[in-house]
Amino acid sequence: MTDSHQELAADYYRRVERLEQARAENRKLQELELRGLLKANMDAKNEFDSRLKKLQDYKMSLELSIQMEEVKLSRMIRHIMKRFEVEQEENRLNNLLKKLQNQSKTTHGVGADLASKVDNSTIQYNAVAEKEKLLEKTFRMDLGEVGYFYDTFAKLYK
């Protein structure tokens, strides 16, 4: 080979070597850039995960708070319903008490009337008993002379 061929070959090898170096530098730069992008991607992913976890925790705390408020509301409703039922029962019992008091007043009035009637009846009975004793006494005196027919007459009289 000639000198010009050797120079061309040497120039070719130098250019190939420079291209290889440029290619190696380019590959290193791309690898560095890829590592930087992967690291940035990983950091973004971790930040996203942490934000997602915070949001999940916030959601759970909100759901817990909502459930606690629902429990409070259900307890309040139950308490109000129980109070309403107690008030209804109290009103029913008050009405029953008034009715019984009115009946008691009328019963006392009727009782007083009955007591006076019993007293009057007792007086009348005593008067009738006295009259009967008097009649029996006069009967004995009038029929005392008959003797053995007295018992028969007494049974018929009674």
In the chain, where the domains are located: 3-157
Share of the chain above pLDDT 70, in %: 89
Structure confidence by residue, pLDDT tens digits, 40-80: 999 999 999 999 999 999 999 999 999 999 999 999 999 99
Give the residue-averaged pLDDT of 140-151.
Answer: 66
Residue 89, pLDDT > 90, answer yes
CA distance 135 to 127: 12
Structure confidence by residue, pLDDT tens digits, 24-33: 999 999 999 9
Whole-prediction pTM value? 0.46
State residue 68's pLDDT score.
97
State residue 111's pLDDT score.
80
Q: Is 81 exposed, middle or buried (0-12, 13-18, 19+ CB in 10 A)?
A: exposed
Q: In sequence order, what DSSP letters do the residues of 62-101 get, joined into one string?
A: HHHHHHHHHHHHHHHHHHHHHHHHHHHHHHHHHHHHHHHH
* pLDDT tier for residue 151 given thresholds of 50, 70 and 90: low
Give the residue-averaged pLDDT of 118-140.
Answer: 86
State residue 4's pLDDT score.
86
Q: Is 150 exposed, middle or buried (0-12, 13-18, 19+ CB in 10 A)?
A: middle
The helix/strand/coil state of 145 is coil
